[in-house]
Amino acid sequence: MSDSDSDKNGKADSAGTTADAVGAAGTAGAAGSTRTGGAAGTAGTPDGDVSADVATVLAPLDDRRLDDLVALYKDLHRHPELGFQETRTAAEAARRLTEYGYEVTTGIARTGVVGVLRNGPGPTVLLRADMDALPVTEESGLDYASTVPGRMHACGHDVHVTCLLGAAELLAAARDRWSGTLIALFQPAEEAGSGARAMLDAGLYSKDLVPTPDVVLAQHVAPFGAGLIAYCPRACMAAADSLKITFHGSGGHGSRPETTVDPILMAASFVQRVQSVVAREVAPKDRVVVTVGSFHAGDSANVIPDRAVVRLSIRTFDETVRTAVLAAIDRIARAEATASGADRAPETDVLDSFPVTVNDDDTLRQVNAEFTRFFGEPRLFAYEPATGSEDAGLLATAAGAPLYYWWLGGWDPDAFHTALAAGRLAQDIPSNHSPQFVPVVRPTLTMGVEALTAAALNQLAGPDRSR
């Protein structure tokens, strides 16, 4: 999950929880087994649902396999790699997928990996995990903390890789319980918003590197109690556009400002006025965030420079609103330059751009019904749209396929509920991108593997059902 322009700060709003929503979920996220039916197969019957198949497929997720996944996760956490540099992570994913019997393609958009498991007629289901870490210095103090200076898995992508590999192994070992084609996709560079697009541009679908999926499923670890799943219907994560606007003036000596066109004053006026877009041009029902995060101009106290550079991010949930806000920002930038007497119009560069992440209603309903049957209703809760951003939706849009993207609880349940009860979530529970963001390992991996497996089986065909 990304903050536009690779923001390194913690961001509870992008994957956090509200006290009301999580409080309503109760203490269901206690560490330990996450299953209602468990391996015994009492979570449901194949008559009208697939929970019995889910229980059967997940039965081998025993202590030995979990120990292996925990070791894998800690190894990935110790060796974080930035976007398009995930060579070590990609190699491990490819090695394991090959071992599990998948057709493996590597080097897609440099480091992307896909595994395809063809298992008779039926839907094609794509499970996606992102691989990249962040330029953050870890402060967890754990014995498996990052060994790479200035690099950290501070957004949980090591969890995503581990969970997908765990689910891929279980599904490959239980091919008698489902029919169709399964794709396990390991994506580079989500944090920069360019990894999914790069894989598509490299021919992911157009060159038949993988079959075109009928559905795309993905999850993201978040700072609420392990054992819980949060979901948001329809637009669940914001579109994000990062812009660099360069204002051109005419520099000169600070003692004679009348001979200059001051780009600092020009840009400062823009910074103030641009907030009027949210306050006066956007309806309150349309959630929009405009943040100026960087302002650079000049190097001397006594010199008026010839340019000022402003960087800002814009978050929106509706394409029409997005277009209008971007147009308003451009209008204001040009107007401020004109009002200042500048000879040149401002230049705007798009640094990165994420689409709105939109969950498909039917797929969400189908998979959530499976989650409810298998995990129990108290483990699911609805969450409001998050202003963080994500590029997984591009993989679905390019295929004309529905998407379901949910959040996976990753924090120690007791610590989380203590902070919740005290009203100290923001102070005591680190958010994604924080140097202290390290999920509780075993319960998070268990729930993550189970959730991906259950969701995949729900969308695949099987012995007693068809899609």
Of the listed ranges 33-37, 122-126, 303-307, 340-344, the least confidently predicted one is 33-37
Distance CA 103, CA 160 (A): 20
4-237+356-459 is classed CATH 3.40.630.10 = yes
CATH number belonging to the domain at 239-354, selected among 3.30.70.360, 1.20.1530.20, 3.90.226.10, 3.40.47.10: 3.30.70.360
| Burial group, residue 213, by CB count within 10 angstroms (0-12, 13-18, 19+) | buried
User: With bands split at pLDDT 50, 70 and 90, how would you rate the model's confidence at 41?
Assistant: very low
Q: Give the model's pLDDT for residue 186.
A: 99
Per-residue model confidence as pLDDT tens digits over 105-117: 999 999 999 999 9
Q: What sign for the dihedral angle of Cα 336, 338, 339, 341? A: positive
SS3 assignment, position 274: helix
Distance CA 370, CA 219 (A): 15
User: With bands split at pLDDT 50, 70 and 90, how would you rate the model's confidence at 21?
Assistant: low
Q: Give the model's pLDDT for residue 39.
A: 35
Distance CA 7, CA 25 (A): 30
Average pLDDT over every residue of 371-389? 95
Query: Strand 239-248's sheet: what is its strand order?
Result: 289-296, 307-316, 239-248, 347-354
Distance CA 23, CA 96 (A): 39
Domain locations in the chain? 4-237+356-459, 239-354
Average pLDDT over every residue of 195-210? 97
- Tell me whether the CATH fold assigned to 4-237+356-459 matches the one assigned to 239-354: no
